[in-house]
Structure 1
Amino acid sequence: MYDLAAMGAWLEFAVRWVHVITAIAWIGSSFYFIALDLGLHRDRNLASGADGEEWQVHGGGFYHIQKYLVAPDHMPGGLIWHKWQSYSTWLSGFALLFLVYYLGAEFYLIDPAVMALAQWQAVLISLASLGFGWVVYNQLCKWFVDADQTVLMVALFAVLVAMAYFYTSVFSGRAALLHLGAFTATIMSGNVFFIIIPNQKIVVDDLMNGRTPDAKYGKIAKQRSTHNNYLTLPVIFLMLSNHYPLAFASQYNWLIASLVFLMGVTIRHYFNSMHARKGEPTWTWAATAILFLIIMWLSTAPMFRGDDADMASGPGQRFAQAEGFDHVQDIVMGRCSMCHAAEPFWDGILWAPKGVRLDTPGQIVANASAIYLQAGLTHAMPPANVSYIEEDERAAIRAWYAAATGG
């Protein structure tokens, strides 16, 4: 029978691959259409009645693109809808959230030092928070649809800061930043699923039935599309943050996450201004650099991570009491803890890689699955086998894991 842990690892890899592919497709189309809309020449009296046009060259050919402010006078054939990218990205992302953080809640989602939660409680909070985010954001958009959009963006930023603080007060640092990314991505996908596509369908239906489409549907859809444009870069940062403990394991991780949203605004403002031919506001690069330097400074504040897991009860009990644990503890202490420690003494390592510490029995138990996959089943760790772990030691890790899991 094929190793279930290996199957799970490959499934996670496959879903992550799909998630990255679909995210590239979604982000690419989003950036392209925002740049296209901003760059349209609207000072031309077009015979077609279009609002603006642009000529582009790519792939050995020329493209003549026109945009109608509301809709053309008749329904064109072969209309292409841009929606699968958003839906596939969210669905694959949620599948990854389920595989890594829900099934592995005791290791990745819950940190007893932050809040002692049962697995079902943590998962329920996660699900409820994603739904809450869409409801609050959608209501804000309805309130401010005719107001200065800057006011709406400030209100949205306040919500994101509050959620950053909430997540870091409930989940592990790694899960907190990942969830803030999922929270924001849910808002973005909700915009496409609940607002942009339905509004476009209303316009199409009006055209097919000989009615003049109402311009308000296009206005609302563009508002939400613009929000997605400014939120994209922070979401990418937050999704990558789980690989960098300097981001998620800092005492001020919630503040770091908040500043990332401001960097997303400054970066996109530069490109949006350039595409709209309104100049190149180079001050945005200085502002972004300053924000990033502040983030770097905040990340070096005292890092936090829970000490020993409770080995007397819960999921750690079976690993702590399994045959061979004492031997595996000696192996990990000798081969891994020189880097994976509160104060690593391996040259060039300043913080435990990915925030994983293995210098106490409780931490070894808490990371049992990772130790098995990285150093027992595969040779991924230590990297390049720098600590010269022996094959019989890897076998001991596999035997200990099997004894604990009944494998």
Structure 2
Amino acid sequence: MIEVILLIAWLIIFSVIIAFTYKLHHSIKDLRAEGNDKKADSIQTSQNWFYALIVVASLAGIGILYLFLKDTIYESHFFEWLNLTVRLIHITFGIAWIGASFYFVFLENALNRTEGVRDEIAGNLWAVHGGGFYYVEKYKLAPQKIPKHLHWFKYEAYFTWLSGFCLLAIVYYFNASSYLIDPEVLDILPSTAIAISVISLIVGWVLYDQICKRLSDNKVAFTLAITVLVFLFAWFYAQVFSGRAAYIHFGAFLGTLMAANVFFVIIPGQKRMVAAAKKGQLPNPEDAKAAFLRSYTNNYFTLPVLFVMISNHFPSTFGNAYQWLVLIGITLGTAGVKHYLNVREKGELSVWVMPISVIILFGMAFMTAPTPPKYENCQEMVSFTEVQTVINNRCTVCHSSNPTDAVWKVAPNGVKYDTAEQIYNLRDKIFQRTVVSKNMPFNNNQTGMTQQERDMINCWINQGALK
């Protein structure tokens, strides 16, 4: 009964919020048409709060829906589609945000700063794209008159972070025992792990922000301090969480720095610059300087973050014995590639950055290469029937047409071992995951595959995988 009451209350509240937001939108539009920009700007602030309320109300609606479906056969299906939806939102806004970062840093690097540039202009650029010609100018500080329509690049960052944090909660917080915690790394309670997760993001931002404020005038010291901070958090997460969770948290850490840069520094500074320009005053150059620094560091974080977003598909990285070192190496290598691209866009040549970055990345590939398991203790021939029995007992809990696992209600990645043919066709994958990397069975070997069983699979493969 309580769920029904909550649902009705939510529908009423959500409808009211939508109606007010719609009304405010049209009021702002009418005021701007009348030339009353001051009042329109005032109402715009209220509209932004209503947008925030829509997000909060949507989350509340999802929570109420979960109450309806909890402990039913639809609960796992609900989480699967929630995961899919939020992941799609996260990727969509992430593409928009990172794309904007790439474009504006390219724009900054490629500006013509010498030929036919007016005094108030920092540079300009001609471009052709999609069948059209474009001409862009950058002002040194601000134009004498702020245009009526000014586009702000901020919501891409906000919604990327919000959707990313929601995804972190859906996948890792709601399934902390399975995904977040590895008792062999650190045996802690789910609540403790979640608290460490949240607090680490806050502490990371505070430390990073202080580095930016105190060392920004010293390029070498600033770069070294940021590098040490990033490496420290990569190591820290590997000492606390499971391999997958450590990598994802490192990405969440970088993403938090990037989004907080936008929310706490870039946008407030730009608002002050716009306000000063509207009053006919000269904007504070320090606001522009701080925004530029944060925007540029965001740009260097993009490729490491993109790697983290796809890393869960590659267990040789997060499943490595030195996973934190692999993460540091790939972060350093991808950031180096981004630096090379930035320098190249300026028309400069840095002959050492790209080769060193590529060498580092190749080094990580070599470091994560599997060590061939020893082909010993195989005194007797292992039959396929024996291997199939092991797979049925240890793997089909998840990898089946009808999984019995509490979390996985659909076979992960569509991999199924229901038939002899399926097992035989995927023998190489089974060998890699159970014998070489030993990161299966999932969830810290939840089905209890023994070393003897792994040795049996190893012997079967090395004896020719006879069927």
TM-score tier (shorter) = 0.7 to 0.9
Shift of 1:150: 3.0
Shift of 1:330: 6.9
Match of 2:136, SS state, is strand
Quick one: structure 1 residues 264 and 328, their matched pair in 2 at CA, closer, same or farther if it must change by over 3 Å?
closer
Shift of 1:51: 1.3
Quick one: structure 1 residues 270 and 331, their matched pair in 2 at CA, closer, same or farther if it must change by over 3 Å?
closer
Off by >6 Å, runs of 4+ in structure 1: none
Report the counterpart of residue 124 of structure 2 in structure 1: 53
| Residue of structure 1 aligned with 2:84, choices 1, 7, 13 | 13
The C-alpha deviation readout for 1:42-88, integer Å capped at 9, x for no partner, is 11343472111110011111111000111111211100000011001
Matched, 1:287 2:351: no
Take 2:236 and 2:371, find their aligned partners in 1: how far apart are those partners? Answer: 20
Report the counterpart of residue 221 of structure 1 in structure 2: 291
Matched, 1:98 2:181: no
Take 2:431 and 2:186, find their aligned partners in 1: how far apart are those partners? Answer: 27
Matched, 1:358 2:422: no
Match of 1:265, SS state, is helix
- The answer to whether the Cα contact below 8 Å between 2:394 and 2:441 also exists between their aligned partners in 1 is no
Take 1:289 and 1:362, find their aligned partners in 2: how far apart are those partners? Answer: 35
Take 1:296 and 1:196, find their aligned partners in 2: how far apart are those partners? Answer: 37
Match of 1:351, SS state, is helix
Matched, 1:240 2:310: yes
Matched, 1:192 2:250: no
Report the counterpart of residue 404 of structure 1 in structure 2: none
The C-alpha deviation readout for 1:311-338, integer Å capped at 9, x for no partner, is xxxxxxxxxxxxxxx9973773897499
Report the counterpart of residue 316 of structure 1 in structure 2: none
Take 2:432 and 2:299, find their aligned partners in 1: how far apart are those partners? Answer: 34
Shift of 1:3: 1.6
Q: 2:172 is matched by which residue type in structure 1?
A: Y
Shift of 1:138: 0.2
Q: 1:347 is matched by which residue type in structure 2?
A: D
> TM-score with structure 1 length normalisation?
0.77
Matched, 1:332 2:332: no
Unaligned runs of 5+ in 1: 304-325, 367-407
| Residue of structure 2 aligned with 1:259, choices 329, 334, 337 | 329
Q: 1:4 is matched by which residue type in structure 2?
A: E
- The answer to whether the Cα contact below 8 Å between 2:182 and 2:242 also exists between their aligned partners in 1 is yes
The C-alpha deviation readout for 1:136-167, integer Å capped at 9, x for no partner, is 000001111222x2321211111111111111
Match of 1:116, SS state, is coil
Q: 1:85-234 to 2 correspondence within 5 Å?
A: 85-147=156-218, 149-234=219-304
- The answer to whether the Cα contact below 8 Å between 1:250 and 1:300 also exists between their aligned partners in 2 is no
- The answer to whether the Cα contact below 8 Å between 2:144 and 2:280 also exists between their aligned partners in 1 is no
Shift of 1:360: 11
Take 2:444 and 2:182, find their aligned partners in 1: how far apart are those partners? Answer: 16
The C-alpha deviation readout for 1:353-372, integer Å capped at 9, x for no partner, is 89752399952389xxxxxx
Match of 2:432, SS state, is coil
Match of 1:332, SS state, is coil
Take 2:442 and 2:251, find their aligned partners in 1: how far apart are those partners? Answer: 31
Quick one: structure 1 residues 200 and 358, their matched pair in 2 at CA, closer, same or farther if it must change by over 3 Å?
same
User: What is the count of residue pairs matched by the alignment?
Assistant: 340
> TM-score with structure 2 length normalisation?
0.67
Match of 1:54, SS state, is strand
- The answer to whether the Cα contact below 8 Å between 1:53 and 1:65 also exists between their aligned partners in 2 is yes
Match of 1:352, SS state, is helix
Shift of 1:214: 1.3
| Residue of structure 2 aligned with 1:346, choices 427, 431, 440 | 427
User: Higher RCO, 1 or 2 (CA under 8 Å, sep at least 6)?
Assistant: 1
Quick one: structure 1 residues 294 and 11, their matched pair in 2 at CA, closer, same or farther if it must change by over 3 Å?
same
Match of 2:134, SS state, is strand
Q: 1:332 is matched by which residue type in structure 2?
A: T
- The answer to whether the Cα contact below 8 Å between 2:319 and 2:439 also exists between their aligned partners in 1 is no
Take 1:242 and 1:124, find their aligned partners in 2: how far apart are those partners? Answer: 22
Quick one: structure 1 residues 47 and 295, their matched pair in 2 at CA, closer, same or farther if it must change by over 3 Å?
closer
- The answer to whether the Cα contact below 8 Å between 1:250 and 1:301 also exists between their aligned partners in 2 is no
Take 1:230 and 1:196, find their aligned partners in 2: how far apart are those partners? Answer: 16
- The answer to whether the Cα contact below 8 Å between 1:251 and 1:301 also exists between their aligned partners in 2 is no
Q: 1:94 is matched by which residue type in structure 2?
A: F
Q: 1:63 is matched by which residue type in structure 2?
A: Y
Take 2:170 and 2:444, find their aligned partners in 1: how far apart are those partners? Answer: 26
Q: 1:327-406 to 2 correspondence within 5 Å?
A: 329=393, 332=396, 336=417, 346-347=427-428, 350-352=431-433, 356-358=439-441, 363-364=446-447
| Residue of structure 2 aligned with 1:35, choices 106, 128, 135 | 106
Give the fraction of aligned pairs with identical amino acids, expressed as a percent: 37
The C-alpha deviation readout for 1:74-130, integer Å capped at 9, x for no partner, is 211100000011001000000000000000100000001111111100000000000
Unaligned runs of 5+ in 2: 1-71, 373-389, 401-415, 450-467
Take 1:63 and 1:286, find their aligned partners in 2: how far apart are those partners? Answer: 34
Take 2:359 and 2:211, find their aligned partners in 1: how far apart are those partners? Answer: 30
Shift of 1:191: 0.5
Take 2:207 and 2:395, find their aligned partners in 1: how far apart are those partners? Answer: 50
Take 1:301 and 1:121, find their aligned partners in 2: how far apart are those partners? Answer: 33
Structure 1, 162-171 or 281-290: larger mean CA deviation = 281-290
Shift of 1:301: 6.3
Q: 2:140 is matched by which residue type in structure 1?
A: L
Name the larger-Rg structure: 2
Structure 1, 344-353 or 236-245: larger mean CA deviation = 344-353
Q: 2:204 is matched by which residue type in structure 1?
A: G
